[in-house]
Structure 1
Amino acid sequence: MTRSRSLFQAYTLTQWQEYYAAEPERIEDVFLAFSEQANTPDNAWIYRADAAALKAQITALQTALGLGDRTLADFPLYGVPFAVKDNIDVAGMPTTAACPAFSYRPEQDATVVARLKAAGAIVVGKTNLDQFATGLVGTRSPYGAVPNAFDETYVSGGSSSGSASAVARGQVAFALGTDTAGSGRVPAGFNNIVGLKPTRGWLSTRGVVPACRLNDCVSVFALTVEDAWTVASLAGGFDAADPYSRPHPGTAPARFNSTPRIAVPDSLEFFGDARNEAAFQRSLTQLTALGATLEPIDFTAFRALAAQLYAGAWVAERTVAAGAMLDRDASEMDPTVRGIIEGGRAYSACDAWQAEYTRAELARRIATQLDGFDALVVPTSPTIRTLAEMAQEPVRYNSQFGTYTNFTNLADLSALALPAGFRDDGLPFGITLIAPAWHDLALSAFGARWQQAHALPLGATGQPLAAQRTPAPESHHVRVAVVGAHLRGQPLNPQLQRRQARFVCETTTRDCYRLYALANTTPPKPGLVRSATGQSIALELWDIPLARFGEFVAEIPAPLGIGTLELADGSLVKGFICEPQALENATDITSWGGWKAWLARHHSA
């Protein structure tokens, strides 16, 4: 079997943006190379767009760009190739869920696909999967098994096998998968790429063939955490047409605490895989080197909840999703997949309700255990298997792969699978960070730090990881500049901490401010005012969850308030300002350059 590797010159979103910056018209030549290889045998793909399908997307994008009121900046994914798992609808392309008898050709894009197209991305095809997204192996497809990107004798992981393989080999910049039990994480770990499993309901599942509707997520595969987060941000958002879509509450922190507190299972199972066990222990050491504090927690509830997904009535959700397919000729479905899905018929409505009660009880126990932690770290998979081994034990080994993934959606958690180096046999190893719902940004911020610290090559491309860009403020957070009593170590800093605010960095204002020590304030506070004869003043930037910002502002007493400050780099942020009348009895401390410097020199005088 021929398996083509990279088809494009750029790999990451930043590289694509740089490639098109000077010559947006390059887009047609870029996709010619892909259409010329559309017929090359490659089990990662079920359907690849031909020249006409690509041209139609390119023309629509160029037309939108050429209307005169929009620029490349309005299309952050302009001309970026991406793949879509073949249980997610793309208008005009067949959706098969890896079952030819199920195939249909949708007239509309799934919500997530439509949003990514609107951002300028180009769908180049549909990728292979474990049939009906039932499996974590990448072998349960009539279109062929998808082998590992590093060693073709090993499995790629599933069910989003084709999407992971295409990203790992540089055939697309990113790909959409789905993740109900780990399908967006296991293949990421097996192929040295990033797999973001978002909070349930953030990315709409309208236009997705359901596996378990209550637990399905659209996931994102990318070579870097930064790219995965960008794609998820563009694809996500409330969708009123999806009954399981949820609006972002705006209450979650933007990043971990400065000294992250990370939970680790108190007992770990690797099913005899000493290489994975050693790799995970190395990862724990590396987390400590990044400043994390690791603490063991009882993993009993997690294991019990993971078992519920396939060993209980929850499997009946898959039976409902498969619908009439179970009444057709058995030969039209993969026998292992059919056997699993048919198992749901053995459960009653009473069993289903009891399963939900059990889920809720275990999920509450898990939430209580994780309270106070920034995240839980687990091996993405405890082991990996060869294609030959998987053929001998298709159910048992699949179950092993889900040891640290199956519980995540049942417990309403977010997760991020990260590359974590290579075993001594050359196969990739991965870890997964798991956090409460809506903590996706915090996971991604720390994940980007992790990836930068390791600087592993990107997927199987051999390309190096570029330096990370400074993250911009995110829409569900407010970036606030503090100059006095709210600084780290100062008496009012807990007001920020209580709102899940997170420190971003130290910086300065533009050189047009003056700083005053206000009279008769408890605790002592400074006042910052704009002035034509000012200088740069030291400050800290903090990101506060949007929904908590009003609480914070409500505690600010006169004569202080929140306005807009200009930073040294010219950017504008919210920050503390002072009413002019409060300066009459104040002391001008501008020359000290900042509140902490003045306090230190003042107390030493």
Structure 2
Amino acid sequence: MRQTEEREMSAVTRVRAAHDRIAAVDRPEIWIGLRPRAQVEAEARTIDARVAAGERLPLAGRLLAVKGNIDVAGLATTAGCPAYAYRPEGDAPVVARLRAAGAIVLGTTNLDQFATGLVGTRSPYGAVRNAHDPSRISGGSSSGSAVAVALGIVDLALGTDTAGSGRVPAALNGIVGLKPTRGLVPTAGVVPACASLDCVTVFARTLPEAEQALSFMTAPPARDLPALPRRAPGPWRIAVPPREQLGELDEGWAQAYEAAVRQLEAAGADVRTLDLTPFTEASAMLYDGAFVAERYTAVGDFVDKLIARGGGATTTLDPTVAGIITRARDIPAHRLFTDMGRLAALRTRALEELGDADALLLPTTTGHPTLAEVSADPLATNARLGRFTNSTNLFDLAAVAVPAAEVNSLPFGVMLIGPAFTDERLARIAGLLQPEARLAVVGAHLTGQPLNPQLLALGAHLDRTTTTAPVYRLHALRTTPPKPGLVYVGEGGAEIETEIWHLPATGLGRLLAALPRPMALGTVELADGTRAPGFLCEPSALQNAEDITHHRSWRAYLSDRSGQES
């Protein structure tokens, strides 16, 4: 393990690259608070020193963003409302656990105020724009966290999920979102939205990274484990609704969902139909019923007092959020008990429909609205986004959201929902749905080169041979086995021979986790103007490295060197 850790990119290098990335993407609305750079780099140097001394830190140098309703020592917890801000005495337990494993917090992220919404626009800190199309929403309420991961600023991010906030932003930004069973991850140090339903969630670009982080976040459950029925042997059993029960979806989304169903069938799953009605009826109850009163219990008194004081209330309170919370104040108690009885009946029906299925497969959400569409009709648009997610915590279920395709050049995601404490089972099934990723290689992973078997073992296949754009230089590094270092220079570069490989996204995550220094995964610009993830090199490794750019190919360089030696 120590050898693997020593091969990974240093924590200091990761921190510096993250700050460069923050400047490059120019998305200030992602963040509410960034820790001072000097402080973060000092912490990174400590992490590097501990690893060098032999300490096992599985998340060493992994960069973490934390939703602004979760306590981070040294930063204000605002829950998206500047007037609510307080300075916590320490990290929330879930943050402390990730830091103890070596993760480094960059800052706290923007959110739908008081975690009330699925759109990512309800914040005085600004609407968080989508990572792929800035004219569209990022999804909320964990908007900043999801976009920070999707844009490659951080490796991991914490969100929360009451109605789908750890899943909808994952789907709309093309990343993974794990919503654990309620009580599996502690919610101490989290500003509640609905305390009885809230879950702390994790975002990552790949399923293995998200699972690894969740393994450190979990603790002995705060309640007794249920006596789960013994799973009968056989293929995964996946429940799906009939097409008409999905309702209206964005253009192409129904077809993308059906393709995901076929993908599970091709992997050997037993797909059967269920009636989705109890799930969608319960979803409508979360905001239209009495359960929204718990949001008033969380922050209603504060909101009332701020409104009563007037003045700055109109600039610090989001009007849509304030309206939802204040209206909840007047819900009568008898209505809550009525809704609790109805919910219990719906849950019984839902579990009967699920039967012995391992998971229910659904589109994570219904479509991808523009910022303008949300502004024109904020409540109805938000309600549509939660059609499939709202019932999960009401029914005490676990869920995982994963990318499944691209539709009209935008991410499309699905989620798997299952009984409480079947989190690992859901992740195993979700792994069957992970889409392929592209990888640009220029050196030891090329066809016939020493590290090419690593790609083949991950299920990779060669797509084509091309070249980079003429903005890179190539150097021969002093490594074993020999490998080149590709470095972006802009002007003065050359076209370098490149192979484009396709491999499962989970395989790319495993490759990244064991990537040796001084190599790093970045974005490589290709001759045709497109971009692909690929291996780049830390500039610090170029000292005493031979510049071999004039060969325009690693293989050409090796052939020439071999000829000289013979």
Tell me which interval the TM-score lies in, with the shorter structure as reference length.
Answer: 0.7 to 0.9
Please provide the CA RMSD for this pair: 2.6
* Matched residue, 1:467: 507
CA contact (8 A) 1:421 1:456 kept: no
Structure 1 segments unaligned to the other structure (5+ residues): 1-13, 240-244, 471-605
* Matched residue, 1:42: 28
Q: Report how far residue 47 of structure 1 moved.
A: 1.4
Distance change (3 Å), C-alpha of 1:57 and 1:197: same
Q: Which amino acid aligns with 2:237?
A: R
The counterpart of 1:188, out of the listed 147, 153, 170, is 170
CA contact (8 A) 2:32 2:109 kept: yes
Distance 2:17 2:237 in 1: 47
Write out per-residue CA displacement over residues 325-384 of structure 1, whole angstroms, 9 at most, x where no aligned residue.
222134131000111111211212222222222222221221222121011011101111
Distance 1:18 1:299 in 2: 50
| Secondary structure at 1:47 match in 2 | strand
* Matched residue, 2:449: none
Distance 2:298 2:502 in 1: 40
The answer to whether structure 1 residue 91 and structure 2 residue 91 are counterparts is no
* Matched residue, 1:374: 358
* Matched residue, 1:445: 428
Distance 1:18 1:227 in 2: 19
Write out per-residue CA displacement over residues 138-158 of structure 1, whole angstroms, 9 at most, x where no aligned residue.
111111111111111111111
Distance 2:20 2:131 in 1: 22
Write out per-residue CA displacement over residues 100-123 of structure 1, whole angstroms, 9 at most, x where no aligned residue.
111111111111000001111000
The counterpart of 1:338, out of the listed 307, 322, 334, is 322
Distance 2:338 2:325 in 1: 19
CA contact (8 A) 2:418 2:426 kept: yes
* Matched residue, 1:21: 6
Q: Which amino acid aligns with 2:81?
A: C
CA contact (8 A) 1:448 1:468 kept: no
* Matched residue, 1:591: none
Q: How does 1:60-459 map to 2 (within 5 A)?
A: 61=47, 71-72=54-55, 74-238=56-220, 245-246=222-223, 258-266=234-242, 267-271=244-248, 273-322=250-299, 323-329=301-307, 330-331=313-314, 332-423=316-407, 425-451=408-434, 454-456=435-437
Q: Which amino acid aligns with 1:324?
A: F
Distance 1:147 1:200 in 2: 29
Instruction: Looking at secondary structure, tell me which structure has more helix per residue.
Output: 2
CA contact (8 A) 2:362 2:416 kept: yes
Q: Which amino acid aligns with 2:426?
A: L
* Matched residue, 1:541: none
Could you tell me the TM-score, scaled by structure 1's length?
0.68
Distance change (3 Å), C-alpha of 1:250 and 1:295: closer
Distance change (3 Å), C-alpha of 1:213 and 1:418: same
Distance 1:23 1:215 in 2: 38
Q: Report how far residue 56 of structure 1 moved.
A: 5.1
Write out per-residue CA displacement over residues 400-449 of structure 1, whole angstroms, 9 at most, x where no aligned residue.
000000000000000011111111x2111111110000000001111123
| Secondary structure at 1:287 match in 2 | helix
Write out per-residue CA displacement over residues 183-206 of structure 1, whole angstroms, 9 at most, x where no aligned residue.
011111111111111000001000
| Secondary structure at 2:418 match in 1 | strand
Distance change (3 Å), C-alpha of 1:33 and 1:228: closer
Q: Report how far residue 44 of structure 1 moved.
A: 1.4
Identity %: 45
CA contact (8 A) 1:135 1:159 kept: yes
CA contact (8 A) 2:11 2:45 kept: no
Distance change (3 Å), C-alpha of 1:236 and 1:171: same
* Matched residue, 1:555: none
Q: Which amino acid aligns with 2:255?
A: A
Write out per-residue CA displacement over residues 525-545 of structure 1, whole angstroms, 9 at most, x where no aligned residue.
xxxxxxxxxxxxxxxxxxxxx
Distance change (3 Å), C-alpha of 1:457 and 1:346: farther
CA contact (8 A) 1:262 1:376 kept: yes
Structure 2 segments unaligned to the other structure (5+ residues): 308-312, 440-500, 511-566
Q: Report how far residue 59 of structure 1 moved.
A: 5.7
Distance change (3 Å), C-alpha of 1:314 and 1:108: same
Distance 2:339 2:156 in 1: 36
Distance change (3 Å), C-alpha of 1:386 and 1:223: same
Which shows bigger deviation, 26-35 or 223-232?
A: 26-35
CA contact (8 A) 1:82 1:175 kept: yes
CA contact (8 A) 2:206 2:509 kept: no
Distance change (3 Å), C-alpha of 1:287 and 1:410: same
CA contact (8 A) 2:260 2:433 kept: no
| Secondary structure at 2:431 match in 1 | helix
Distance 1:157 1:258 in 2: 37
Q: Report how far residue 55 of structure 1 moved.
A: 3.9
Distance 2:437 2:14 in 1: 27
Distance change (3 Å), C-alpha of 1:33 and 1:250: farther
Distance change (3 Å), C-alpha of 1:61 and 1:290: same
CA contact (8 A) 2:192 2:298 kept: yes
Could you tell me the TM-score, scaled by structure 2's length?
0.72
Distance 1:149 1:42 in 2: 13
Distance change (3 Å), C-alpha of 1:21 and 1:309: same
Distance change (3 Å), C-alpha of 1:445 and 1:257: farther
Q: How does 1:506-585 map to 2 (within 5 A)?
A: none
Count of residues in Structure 1 that have an aligned counterpart in Structure 2: 438
Distance 1:23 1:197 in 2: 28
The counterpart of 2:37, out of the listed 51, 62, 73, is 51
Q: Which amino acid aligns with 2:119?
A: V
Write out per-residue CA displacement over residues 275-309 of structure 1, whole angstroms, 9 at most, x where no aligned residue.
21221122222221121222221122111211111
Q: Which amino acid aligns with 1:30?
A: R
Distance change (3 Å), C-alpha of 1:188 and 1:41: closer
* Matched residue, 1:498: none
Write out per-residue CA displacement over residues 137-181 of structure 1, whole angstroms, 9 at most, x where no aligned residue.
111111111111111111111111111111111111111100000
CA contact (8 A) 1:102 1:325 kept: no
| Secondary structure at 2:139 match in 1 | coil
| Secondary structure at 1:154 match in 2 | coil
CA contact (8 A) 1:252 1:438 kept: no
Q: Report how far residue 65 of structure 1 moved.
A: 5.4
